[in-house]
Amino acid sequence: MTSREILSKLPYSKPFLFVDELTVIFENGAEGTFTFDENLDFYKGHFKNNPITPGVILIETMAQIGLVCLGIYLGKDNNNTETKFAFTSSEIEFLKPVFPNEKVTVISEKVYYRFGKLKCKVSMRNSKNEEVCSGTISGMIL
């Protein structure tokens, strides 16, 4: 399955799609990028006169690239045209802010995939290759 095919199967659309490119995908991990456009609605109120990307959006970006894209790839042999996911848990440490117009790279490494549950170690890096957040994310493939 190609990166383009995986992206076409994502269950999201703008303005809630946080994947621009899937650069690496294989059975043990994924890597992709997203640029946070300054016109995204959440910047209007988070924070006044000094907008930063909310942590929940950073987690969602890591989940879409590092968990859902990988889950679609791992489930490629189940002949389903639509793979459904349920987010189950995350433990993320935030180290640096992500600002409007900043491009980030998410790197995911599979911890395990069994009985429909996928757990990954994820890391997000900015354009200076500085880690901005990292941790684990889990979900169920339904």
Catalytically active residues are: 46
E strands, the chain, where?
21-26, 29-35, 85-94, 103-114, 117-125, 131-141
Question: How are the residues of the chain apportioned to helix, strand and coil, as percentages rounded to the nearest 5?
Answer: 25, 40, 40
> Between β-strands 117-125 and 103-114, what pairing exists: parallel, antiparallel or unpaired?
antiparallel
In the chain, the amino acid numbered 48 is K
Residue 138 CA to chain centroid, in angstroms? 12
40 three-class SS: coil
Instruction: Report CA Rg, the chain.
Output: 15
